[in-house]
Amino acid sequence: MKRYIITIAVAALALSASAQSSANELSKARAAVAAAKSATAPDARQCIFDIKAYHDTDGRLVVGGVTSDRDARRAVVSKLDETGLEYADSIKVLPYNRWAQTRISAASHRGAGRHSAEMVTQSVLGTPLRVLEASGDWWRVQTPDGYIAYVPSSSVVAKTDSEMAAWRKASRFIVTSHYQVRAYSTPTADSPRQIVTDLVNGCIVTAVGGAPKLTDGRLHIELPDGRTGYVDSSALTPVEQWAAQDFDADRILDTAYSMEGTPYLWGGTSVKALDCSGLAKVSYYANGIILMRDASQQALTGTRIEASDWRRCRPGDLLFFGNAKTKKVTHVAIYDHDGDYVHSSGRVKRNSVDPDSPSYLTTPFLHAVRIAGNEETKGITRARNHPWYFDR
């Protein structure tokens, strides 16, 4: 009887040790996954990172899930290898070869796949989009600035890898008119019933037949979904010329001021209606520069200038406002001169950071950043160097 009790006790201790060992390896694996996420995917707006460590029904350690970033997967594997753990790799990377382009002048992207979900960003016609998931009425896509959201499938058209490669080599034109323009069904049409589509600043179209063809001052263009029309050539600029621009504060500010009075729209990033960071994005995009989507993201880019040094600001610098205690950024504006800035708050309008100015606003001014001279640093990309727009 005594020997039997000792055997049970030894078995119980062995089971306890095994359970503890299993718990320890799971804890190590989870710590490795967390470290990889912190290093490569800290912002859920930019990267899908749904990777977890767990034990399967047979007690095996498994690390599985899905991510939108190859580097994030590599980081997980690297961190796990450092632990020396044995595990089953079940991590899936979402595809890099599925594409779409926006087919309407301004498509709304939402935080979830339903119309009642918050609108978080937009894309204009011709914008290249990486398709992460495509099923039903809502596609999960990534915009050129890295932002991930859901867009109605009716707002986009699917493209293959080869079609996108051909598009990058095609004769393309971008709408550089500050104001909304129309594509008509014939070169001489002027009736509302002959409109093919509206177009806004930043929309990209291609020349029909592979070479620009002008008729009565209008260019024959093709839209991403194959529709064709005629647009006043004065509203268009060759994509290569637009992308080749040097930094131009006047162009940025002229674009912003052209929208004065335009209504504020949460999630808006087109000249039709836009939010504060949308105004910064649209204005910089007119200068061939792609900024990050949200003010809180834009605030972490460029060269920082403290609020107390606002007199050092130059035209085109971005000003950030928010909570004075937590320093949380909630608003962005574009600096002009002598303390004046333009921003979208209720509508696009002008105010000042100078306390002595009659247009001074009391919203806490946190800091500024300089984009000029920081192109191709984190979060600031020239379109000419973006591989979705041009072969690089």
Choose among 202, 200, 198: nearest CA to 143.
Answer: 202
Choose among 104, 101, 129: nearest CA to 200.
Answer: 104
How many CB atoms are located within 10 Å of the residue 306 CB?
11
For residue 148, the surrounding DSSP H or E stretch is: strand 148-152
Total number of residues shown for the chain: 392
Give Cα separations from 88 to 54, 70, 73, 309 (angstroms).
Answer: 10, 18, 14, 54
Is-contact 333 253, C-beta < 8 A?
no
Tell me how far apart the 2 most distant CA atoms of the chain are, in Å. Answer: 106
**DSSP conformational letter for 197:** E
Angle at 13 between CA 8 and CA 15, to 5 degrees: 95
- Exposure pattern of 68-99 as b/e (b: 16+ CB <10 Å)? bbeebbebbbebbeeeebebeeebeebeeebb
User: Alpha helix locations (H) across the chain?
Assistant: 2-40, 70-83, 161-169, 239-243, 249-258, 276-285, 295-298
User: What angle separates helix 2-40 from helix 70-83, to the nearest 10 degrees?
Assistant: 140
**DSSP conformational letter for 245:** P
Beta bridge partners of 62: 54, 88
Report the DSSP pairing between strands 365-370 and 303-306. Answer: antiparallel
Residues 6+ apart with CB under 8 A from 205: 125, 126, 172, 173, 174, 175, 183, 199, 221, 222, 223, 231, 236
**DSSP conformational letter for 292:** P
Tokens 């800091």 belong to 367
Q: Show which residues are catalytic.
A: 276, 331, 343
